[in-house]
Amino acid sequence: MASRRAAEDLVRAGRVEIAGDRAVLGQRVPEGAEVRVDGRPIAVAATHRTFALNKPRGVVTTAHDERGRGSVLDLLPDVPGLHTIGRLDRDSEGLLLATTDGELTLRLTHPRYGHTKTYRVWCERGTPPPEALTKLRRGIELDDGPARALAARAAEGGAVIVLNEGRSHQVRRMCEAIGQRVVRLVRTHVGGLPLADLEPGAYRELTMRDFERLGYMPTGLEQETRRGAPRRPR
């Protein structure tokens, strides 16, 4: 019924009750417990849903854009509580996960879990020289603090860069710091999960194998049935 942030606001405002008691942030809902918002009971999903989307260029990851630009949520099924895990900026493409599972969101976004993200970039000046890629691996200073690539290797017309954090426009800013303006950026992996052959704008629901690649197994995950089949772009 709400995004993760909006749900937290509801809890802070004292509008959520679990089994008759006022809820607090971080509290888990016991199996079978009744959840009420403003005194009205709500349904609690027995199984979370998670999707992989190949985000196309020109689409934003915010749920609502003040400039009326298309949102990634318009490309995904209308599932209550569905939110993106992290962001890709409007001009970036590639693998973006969306889920109803707050625990998975935490696991993939908090630095202490060490999940990596891999990016394929194409640069205006072509493939960066070896010394520039060495600078990315050793670490450089950005306006919001130091940044270091876990890996950075040459690729045709650009590079492949691996990070374990995701600050705003970080890959682009790191490349600009070594004199390389990025003209195209595609996220190819989240942890061990690849973008694979998803078409731009297409999505699929994650399978048990996908969760294993992420090192995470949701509680109550159903056996693979209808999951995993790619859906064409709308």
In angstroms, how far is CA 179 from the centroid of its own chain?
A: 28
Nearest to 64 by CA among 3, 1, 12: 3
Rounded CA-CA distance 152/163 in Å is 9
Nearest to 135 by CA among 123, 117, 147: 147
| Joined tokens for residue 2 | 């709400």
Rounded CA-CA distance 88/55 in Å is 8
Residues 6+ positions from 129 with CB-CB distance below 8 Å: none
Interhelix angle 130-138/170-177, nearest 10 degrees: 130
38 given a catalytic annotation: no
The active-site residue, picked from 9, 65, 74, 89, is 89
Rounded CA-CA distance 38/40 in Å is 6
Write the CA distances from 79 to 45, 74, 99, 219, integer angstroms: 11, 11, 9, 18
Catalytic residues: 89
